Amino acid sequence: MKYRKYLVLLGIGLILVACGPRNDEGKLARLERQRDALNEEIEVLKQEIAQKARPGAKQEKLMNVRISKVEKGRFQHFIQVQGTVESDNNVLIAPQSSGIVKKIHVNAGDKVTKGKLLAELDGSILESSIAEVENGLRLAETIYERQKRLWDKNIGSEIEFLQAKNTKEGLEKRLATLKEQYKLTKIFTPLSGTVDEVLIKEGEMVVAGMGAIRVVQLSNLKIKVGLSEAYISRIKKNDLVHVKIPVIGREFDLRINAVSQVIDSQNRTFQVEMKIPKSETGIKPNMLSVLTINDYTNEEALIVPLNIVQETGQEQFVFVAEQINGEWIARRREVKTGNSYIDRAEISSGLQEGEYVVTFGYQNLADGQKLAVVSGSE
């Protein structure tokens, strides 16, 4: 029988639903609607068969269809991309001088406050130099004080006084320089946070500028993502974004805080950032996030099911049901679509609010064909 073909298609559709990825909600919705459409087709065929079996049935064939009223509504389009959780305060601290690691004062996981000493390098040579200069400075200060007292009493020569003063001041500057150099053997944290990793070991040689200890502050997290330049005119600050972090099973909504106006010449993308509120706990830097961004909204769009829009070459059309003298007639109507999302399409021209479109049974229709509306109309 003819309807067996549709039963086979229904079975294939159900298999595709069972085998498809569970997290692909859009694909699942489309397959479910295809299943519903096949069920409607089966009911239509059953009614046709029953109609033919009845004695005295009309010879003129009426196509059993279901129709839906075209109304204005809110249409939204979304894009889905992957982003990464980042921290503005994620710092890999490096020593400012080279040397042997003498002592490490923290371990991974330790809480630290700004200015805390994390590690120190061997500064024994500088310590010896500082002690030597301090001894020389004490002698220079003694000589200077004596020369100054004599000079104040107009005893002695001016040159001896100036030499003593110059020696003292020279040693003071040298001592200050050595102390600043000695500070460079210490590694301090520039922010409060948590020690994430320690990349150095006691007794090993480190080089100035080489990453040593990472400190992360989890209170200022954000999600950063690169979007195709095609969306740069459609994404704006304060747009709503639905965030899903699969690894911890968290979902929440955020607003876009910053939209870059510069396109990366290498990958043709622009950057979008969203700050994560402190109330969202358990989120860590570098976690993967799935973002669903509303890039287009039309509050008064004419919306039809996407599957009823048919195409022949460059032409798009739907079947409209018109009631003439109490009879429903199919009319082939050329339309133009705007955006589409999952199973809905926005109609930009070709339809008017209040008209009826054929939503089931449209596959085999012809222009001017008489219709029998079954299962009611929407």
pLDDT digits (tens, 9 = 90+) for 157-193: 888 888 989 999 999 999 999 999 999 999 999 988 8
Residue 248 per-residue DSSP state: G
The pLDDT of residue 269 is: 92
Alpha helices, DSSP H, located in 155-232:
158-183
Instruction: With beta carbons less than 8 A apart as the criterion, state whether 267 and 260 touch.
Output: no
For 59-89, the pLDDT digits (tens) are 456 788 889 999 999 998 889 999 999 887 8
Smallest Cα–Cα separation from 84: which of 322, 243, 211? 243
Residue 303 per-residue DSSP state: E
User: Which of 47-51, 71-75, 76-80, 338-342 is the least confident region?
Assistant: 47-51
Separation of alpha carbons 295 and 235, rounded Å: 6
Lookup result for tokens 């389009």: 77
Lookup result for tokens 């870059």: 260
The pLDDT of residue 9 is: 47
Got the DSSP string for 95-155?
Answer: -SS-EEEEEE---TT-EE-TT-EEEEE--HHHHHHHHHHHHHHHHHHHHHHHHHHHHHTT-
Separation of alpha carbons 155 and 141, rounded Å: 18
User: Which of 178-187, 217-226, 264-273 is the least confident region?
Assistant: 217-226
Lookup result for tokens 């320690």: 198
Q: Within 13 Å, how many C-alpha atoms sit on residue 351's CB side?
A: 33
Q: Token pair for residue 246?
A: 């699969």
For the chain, the average pLDDT equals 84
The angle subtended at Cα 51 by Cα 361 and Cα 66, nearest 5°, is 25
Q: Which amino acid is at 316?
A: Q
Separation of alpha carbons 45 and 57, rounded Å: 15
The pLDDT of residue 2 is: 44
Strands, sheet with 186-188, edge to edge from the N-terminal-most edge strand: 186-188, 117-121, 99-104, 205-206
- In percent, the amount of the chain with pLDDT more than 90 equals 48
